[in-house]
Amino acid sequence: MTFQGVIVASLPALDPYRIGNECCPKCLAGSRVKTHCNEYRSTSCVPCADGTFTKKPNGLDRCTPCTNCHSTLGLKLKKQCTTTSDTLCEPLEGFYCEQLTGHSCTKAREHKRCKPGQRVSQKGTALTDTKCSDCSDGTLYNGTLDSCQPHTQCHFQQLTPGTPKLSLCGTCSSHMYLVCCSRVRVQQVHPVALCL
């Protein structure tokens, strides 16, 4: 029964909750207790306010506040909170879930970036981090291609190899470097292209 926005508990047979010496009927999921029962009246219940919820029948005075999906924790909204369920969060693009509670992510971390001389062996997903593996000798990974690429053979182009730290040889047209010939693999190709 409902009177002026108050739900009077004539509820199905649920396990009662105890308050003082009374065993009171619980409020349904999505609502909370407005007035506990006594020997003269049953429990009265009210719906949870916006931004709050209760998942199951209860004897609570307050509904639980809904979770916020904070971008500072690497999260975004997956499913809005209702009066009977909490918000579901998922990782932002480029992040993976580090802490999963039920079906909701509570903390996410940005996918790892492979170090110089490594390539992506497995792309990260919403549940797993990126996996990296070392490039084999004579190859490099510049961070933009899908696999390690062979070093340029500088001596075939009659160019002088760069130092082991620079991994560059000779000169190219403006804004490009020629990648080559070193165990240290280049990561700073400027701005976009490799001159191979």
Here the CATH number for the domain that contains residue 56 is 2.10.50.10
C-alpha distances out from residue 152 to 65, 156, 167, 178, Å = 60, 9, 10, 8
Q: Is 187 exposed, middle or buried (0-12, 13-18, 19+ CB in 10 A)?
A: middle
Does 169 share its domain with 196?
A: yes
Tell me, yes or no, whether 79 and 120 share the same domain: no
Split at pLDDT 50, 70, 90, the class of 145 is: low
pTM above 0.75, yes or no: no
Residues of the domain holding 130: 114-196
**196/139 same-domain check:** yes
Contact yes or no for 48/30 (Cβ under 8 A): yes
Q: Do residue 12 and residue 51 come from a single domain?
A: yes
Q: What is the mean pLDDT of residues 92-102?
A: 95
| 49 shares its domain with 81 | no
Same domain, residue pair 76 and 55:
no
Number of domains in the chain: 3
Residues 121, 166 within the same domain: yes
> Same structural domain for residues 126 and 196?
yes
Do 126 and 49 have their domain in common? no
On whether both 141 and 187 belong to a single domain, the answer is yes
pLDDT (tens digit per residue) in 25-38:
999 999 999 999 99
How many other CB atoms are there within 10 angstroms of residue 121's CB atom? 12
Domain final position from 46, 80, 110: 110
- Could you read off the pLDDT of 148-192 as tens digits, one per residue? 777 665 555 545 444 332 344 444 444 444 444 333 444 444 333
- Same domain, residue pair 147 and 104: no
User: 49 and 16: one domain?
Assistant: yes
Average pLDDT estimate for 112-135? 89
